[in-house]
Amino acid sequence: MQHVPVLYQAVLDLLKPVPGGLYLDGTLGAGGHTRGLLLGSSPDGQVAGFDRDPWALDVAKSNLADFGERVIFIKDSYRNFRSHLNILNWHYVDGILLDLGISSMQLDTPERGFSFREDGPLDMRFDPDQPLTAADLLNGSTREDLADIIFSYGEEKLARKIADAIIANRPLVRTKDLAEIVKKVARNPKSKIHPATRTFQALRIAVNGELDALEAFLPEALDSLNTGGRLAIIAFHSLEDRIVKRFFRKESRDCICPPEVPVCVCGHKARVKEITRRPIRPEEGEIARNPRARSAKLRVAEKIF
Ligand SMILES: C[S@@+](CC[C@H](N)C(=O)[O-])C[C@H]1O[C@@H](n2cnc3c(N)ncnc32)[C@H](O)[C@@H]1O
C-alpha cells in the first residue's frame, strides 16, 4: 500500500516552499512530502532526502524519478545531516521537515518485525546494516534494563511485569511470541489499544535510538536554517512531541533563567518564533482515510535570527 503523507497540506502551507529554495526532508519514506516540496519549489528548488532504510529510498527514488537531480537521496540518519550538506555545499536551507515514526510500508512488511499483528522476526531496525536488533535487546538485556526501556519509551505501567515475563520465556525470536507474552500479562479489557502496542513502541525506539537522534538533531537543524526558514516536525507519540515542544519553547524565549533568579544572567536570546502554539492535528476526514494519522501532531517554528 502506498504511504499516505500525514498532514500533507498543512506541512506545505507552513513550510511554504519557493522556487530556488533548498529543503531538507530528514525522513523521506516514500517521498510523499518531498514531492510536495519539489512541486512547490518548481522549477529549480532542491530537496536533500534522508532515510536510514534502503528499501524506503528505493521506493522514493522510483516515486520521484521525474524530478531528476532536484532531489538528492541520502542513506543515513537525519542526525548526521550536517556532513552531507557540507558535501553538497549547502550552508543553510530554507525549510526542514521530520515526519517521525514508522511508515505504512515498514509496518505492513512482517519480515521487518515492527508489527505485533503479523508474525515475523524480532528485528525492528530502520537500517538493516545496524547490528543491534530487537531480539538482541530482548534476549541480552537485564530485567532492570528491559523494564526501564518498556517504562521509559513505552510509558507502560506494567513494565516490570512484562520484563519478568520476557525473562521467563527467553529466548524470544518471533513477534507473535512477544505479542502473546505481553497480552497474557497486560490484557486490559477497558483499553481500546492492543496490550502489546506500548511494548513494541518502546523496543522500536530503543533499537533505533529514536529519541537521541531527535534531541541531537534539533539544535543543529536550527543552526542550519536561513533566517525566515521553518522547521516542521510531525510527532506520533508524547515522548517525541514533548522533546519538540520543549525545544521550541526554550528557543522562543529571550531568557531561560530559573524563575527564582531576579535578573537575567543567562543572556539567552530567542532564535525562533513558534508558528503553532498548539500542535496541528489531522482532521476527522484524514483520520478516516488514514487511521495511522490519528496520533500525529505537527509543530512548526520559524528562525528569527
Ligand atoms: C513516517 S515515514 C515518512 C514518510 C514520508 N514523509 C512520506 O511522505 O512518504 C518515516 C521514515 O523515517 C525513516 N526514519 C526513521 N528514523 C530515521 C532517522 N533517524 N534518519 C533517517 N530516516 C529515519 C523511516 O525509515 C521511515 O521511512
pLDDT digits (tens, 9 = 90+) for 250-272: 999 999 999 899 999 999 999 99
Burial of 91 (C-beta count, 10 Å sphere; 0-12/13-18/19+): exposed
Residue 109 has pLDDT above 80, yes or no: yes
pLDDT digits (tens, 9 = 90+) for 4-15: 799 999 999 999
pLDDT, one tens digit per residue, over 278-293 is: 999 999 999 999 988 9
Asked if 33 and 95 count as a contact pair (C-beta separation under 8 A), the reply is: no
Bridge partners, residue 272, by sequence:
303
How far CA 108 is from CA of 17, 57, 93, in Å, comes to 31, 16, 33
Query: Which residue do the cell numbers 504511504 mark?
Result: 3
For ligand 1, is residue 125 a contact (CB within 6 Å)? no
Atom number of ligand 1 nearest to Cα 214: 19
For ligand 1, whether the C-beta of 141 sits within 6 Å is no
Atom 22 of ligand 1: nearest residue by CA position:
51
Band (pLDDT 50/70/90 cuts) for residue 1 is very low
Q: Ligand 1: which of 47, 50, 51, 292 to mutate, most ligand atoms within 8 Å of CB? A: 51
Q: How far is the CA of 99 from the centre of ligand 1 (A)?
A: 6
What pLDDT score was predicted for residue 125? 98
CA 98 – ligand 1 centroid, Å = 8
Q: What is the pLDDT of residues 35-84, one digit of tens each?
A: 999 999 999 999 999 999 999 999 999 999 999 999 999 999 999 999 99
Q: Average model confidence (pLDDT) for the chain? A: 96
Residue 65 CA to residue 61 CA, distance in Å, equals 6
CA 27–ligand 1 middle distance (angstroms): 3
User: Is the CB of 302 within 6 Å of ligand 1?
Assistant: no
Q: What's the 62 CA to ligand 1 centre distance in angstroms?
A: 16
**Residue 2 in this model has a pLDDT that exceeds 70:** no
Is 78 touching ligand 1 by the criterion CB < 6 Å? yes
Q: Is 192 a residue whose pLDDT tops 90?
A: no
Given pLDDT bands bounded at 50, 70 and 90, which one contains residue 187? confident
Specify whether the CB–CB gap between 24 and 96 falls below 8 A. yes
Span 135-163, mean pLDDT?
98
Higher pLDDT: 292 or 203? It is 203
Q: Which of 81, 103, 108 to mutate to test the pocket of ligand 1 (most atoms within 8 A of CB)?
A: 103
Average pLDDT (187-207) is 92
The reply to whether ligand 1 has any atom less than 6 angstroms from the CB of 286 is no
Which atom belonging to ligand 1 lies closest to the Cα atom of 236?
1
32 lines ligand 1 (CB under 6 A): yes
Please say if the pLDDT value at position 127 is more than 50: yes
Q: Write down the pLDDT at residue 159.
A: 97
Its pTM stands at 0.96
Helix 210-223 vs helix 81-88: crossing angle, to nearest 10: 40
Does pLDDT of 3 surpass 70?
Answer: no
